[in-house]
Amino acid sequence: MKTTNFADRLTSLIKQRKSCAVVGLDPHWSPIPESIKKSAIKQHGKTPVACAAVIRTFCTELIDAVCAHVPVVKPQSAFFEQFGPAGVEALYAVMEHARSKGLLVLLDVKRGDIGSTAQGYANAYLGESEIDGEKFEPFPADAVTVNPYLGSDSVLPFVETAAGHGKGVFVLVKTSNPSSAEIQDLVVENETVYMKVAQKLDAIARDHIGESGYSLLGAVAGGTFAQAGEKIRRCIPNCYILVPGYGAQGAGAADLKPFFNEDGLGAIINSSRAISFAYAGKPYAEKFGEAKWQAASEAAIIAMNEEIAAQTPFLNRKTDR
């Protein structure tokens, strides 16, 4: 049976839901509603198990609030791993719940290794593991983030495994953090390091293009660097770009235009805290408050979709509704 290209699945969902937004699941402990914390601590005490129960409940309820409005959620593995085995179990449960709601799961793990180790990571997140002939999917992920610092040897095992299982790979190119320039903006052979990475990605991506015209191999480029985003976009026309930095990190809807292709596709825009904890900030705190935190998150993602659609011709076409 033919495996559906990840980019085709992503494109289809974007069209169905009229959204290119990604909700980042970064369950910072402090702003999680107290009602969720009290219930778990009462049952499990002040333990890692209680912490894992809190982030599991929070993330699954957040997914329930936003699932009708987005194609993708992006759990950040670190926020779960910090609570040990119970946290990893919570991550698995959250990923399964997202899939049950018809969402693609982009697991943010930023792995980067070579040889059999890279293949092991690829099997874990994008492929299968096997025990005496019995195969199973270790994590219910549809795509992962990968760090290319070790070169193509650290990327190809993920790409090849993804190709066989209808999954996707997003490689760090120009990240949204301020200190990214320390390495990514260095000039080598008259070109920045991040553009060297983009050029390498383009060469690999062309072998994995689906019917949508996009490849299963994508890039990560921060919305806080619009000029860099424009250069990257021209370099990798057949790749989706995962764009962090919108909302709490300072990038606005107008800053996102360079990341899209002329067809209005080609970018997925991540927002984490501005959606997850919308109840705690303007303009939602007064109207919703903590008691209605899910409603605040839903209102925030609807507003985000509207802001992006105003800048994106494809998403703004009334005839496709």
Instruction: Collect all residues with Cβ–Cβ distance below 8 Å to 219 and sequence separation of at least 6.
Output: 170, 171, 172, 173, 198, 201, 232, 236, 239, 240, 241, 242
Q: In this predicted model, what pLDDT tens digit does every residue of 279-302 receive, in sequence order?
A: 999 899 999 999 999 999 999 999
Q: In this predicted model, what pLDDT tens digit does every residue of 168-203 receive, in sequence order?
A: 999 999 998 889 999 999 999 999 999 999 999 999
Q: CA–CA separation, 117 vs 6, rounded Å?
A: 23
101 is catalytic: no
Give percent of the chain above pLDDT 90. Answer: 83
Q: Are strands 168-174 and 217-221 parallel, antiparallel or unpaired?
A: parallel
| Run of H or E residues at 129 | strand 129-131
pTM beyond 0.85, yes or no: yes
Structure tokens at 165: 């299982």
> Which CATH superfamily, name and number, covers 6-24+106-309?
Aldolase class I (3.20.20.70)
Structure tokens at 127: 């492929």
Q: CA–CA separation, 220 vs 24, rounded Å?
A: 14
Q: CA–CA separation, 232 vs 250, rounded Å?
A: 20
Asked if residue 247 has pLDDT above 80, the reply is no
Q: In this predicted model, what pLDDT tens digit does every residue of 10-52 receive, in sequence order?
A: 999 999 999 999 999 999 999 999 999 999 999 999 999 999 9
Asked if residue 321 has pLDDT above 50, the reply is no
DSSP symbol at 269: E
Q: Find the catalytic residue in 18, 110, 231, 257.
A: 110
Please give the pLDDT value at position 130.
83
| Run of H or E residues at 163 | helix 156-165
